[in-house]
Structure 1
Amino acid sequence: MFERDLLPSGVAEAVAAIAALMLDPIPTYIDTAVIATTIAGVVAYWNDAAERLYGWKAKEALGQNVVDLTPASYSRAEAEAIMARLQAGEAWDGEIVLRGRGGAPFLAYVMDLPVGDLASGQGAIVGVSLPAEHRRLIDHRRQLIETELHLRFRSPRG
């Protein structure tokens, strides 16, 4: 489910392209959650895999803060450091313990990517997450996603 109006022009199309990359018929990707948020962390896109992984229906997640829906095990300082990297235009990835709607912890591999111009407020953050045991299988997808973003939003640093 997609709330395009929450994202700047051009960014919504990039989010849709990234989500399309996750539609590969390899069964592992059925479990690949794609979540896009505004810079403030408000959920604008929440796919079916996110529903299964985190337990929240898209209609419940849209418009909510992603931190409330997917609480992580890292500290506030760590979360702020990750956000600072994203706002500086850098991707972040790693394995972290998350909790879904039911509160049960699970180890997930998460890749967060800045999209658009975050510094000017005209961007978003796209998070791709899946059970950690599938991490190696997503490494190839990461290359595809980064290529897609590079083609759509050329970095000012080259």
Structure 2
Amino acid sequence: MKDPAGYSCEVCTDAGAWRLTLGGEFDLATVPVSEAVLRMAQADALTVWLDLGDVSFIDSSGIAMLMRAHQRADRAGNELVLVAPSAPVRRLLELCGIDRALRIEDRDPWTHQESGRRHAVIATNLDGVVVHWNRDAEAFYGYTAQHAVGRAARDLIVAPGDNDEARRIVQTLRTDGRWQGAFEVARADGSTFRAWVRDIVMCDDAGRPSGLLGLSVPMLELARAQPAPHPRAA
């Protein structure tokens, strides 16, 4: 699995809602990353906004993923909203006759741009080699996607002395399918920071494990996003 040129996956969360912004080609090569992020979002949020305005191509595997996400939302009683689908996406939704089954908003209703927390999205194959590295991963860790894709994730982001903990996390992922917690990570310049990390196993269209996906955000960003406590009355 290789990160296709032009594919992008950006994540922002706030107040019980997740916004996922996908761009580029939405097909068999990119569905595992997109679906893993969607599964994580739907397990955590009451509402998931899925922005498809920059998707240039979608095939049947992308449509099938959207329908699985719609079914998960129905079962869980939460909401999945497609935001401003591009013309190729809308045409295929209409051609398949499923556009009426999905909630679609032509105008962007997201109101959390200032307070929302952005997340690094890093995906690897089962050998731990990076196959996707989004813009916020570039910002947080200091490596460009061009530099990161094709390299072992542990060589890029695991802080010195934390290799044993990283191996334990991977083992938990292989047995439980997911992991989350605080973890010390490294930047390209050698500095380190504490991050809140969520990891999940990615699967291919047959449901077989195909890689690992992690979302991370600096703990300082989480602290800044917490509302200030109300002062006590004297």
Shorter-chain TM-score bucket reads: 0.5 to 0.7
Offset at residue 74 of structure 1 (A)? 5.7
Structure of greater relative contact order (alpha carbons < 8 Å, 6+ residues apart): 1
**Deviation at 1:16?**
2.5
Q: Say if 1:69 and 1:77 are closer, same or farther in 2 by CA, change over 3 A.
A: closer
Partner of 2:133 in structure 1? 46
**Corresponding position of 2:218:** 131
2:103 equivalent to 1:16: no
* SS of corresponding position for 1:56: coil
Deviations 1:31-60 (A, max 9, x none): 310000001110000000000000000000
In structure 2, the residue matched to 1:109 is 196
Which one of the candidate residues 168, 172, 175 is aligned to 1:85?
Answer: 172
Deviations 1:68-121 (A, max 9, x none): 11023564332222111111242111111111001111111111111117xx97
What is residue 12 of structure 2 aligned with on the other side? none
Partner of 1:3: 3
Find the residue that maps to 1:102 and give its secondary structure.
Answer: coil
Q: Which residue is 1:153 aligned to?
A: none
Larger CA deviation: 42-51 vs 121-130:
121-130
If the length of structure 2 is used for normalisation, what is the TM-score? 0.47
Query: How many equivalent pairs are there?
Result: 132
**How much is the aligned-residue C-alpha RMSD, in angstroms?**
3.4
Identical pairs, percent: 27
Tell me the TM-score normalised to structure 1 length: 0.67
Q: Gaps spanning 5+ residues in structure 2: where?
A: 5-26, 39-47, 52-109, 226-234
| 1:124/1:13 CA distance change after superposition, 3 Å | same
Of 144, 150, 156, the residue aligned with 1:57 is 144
Gap change, CA 1:27 and 1:114, over 3 Å in 2: farther
1 or 2, which has the higher helix percentage?
Answer: 1
Listed as ranges, the gaps of 5+ residues in structure 1 are 139-158
Q: Which has the larger radius of gyration?
A: 2
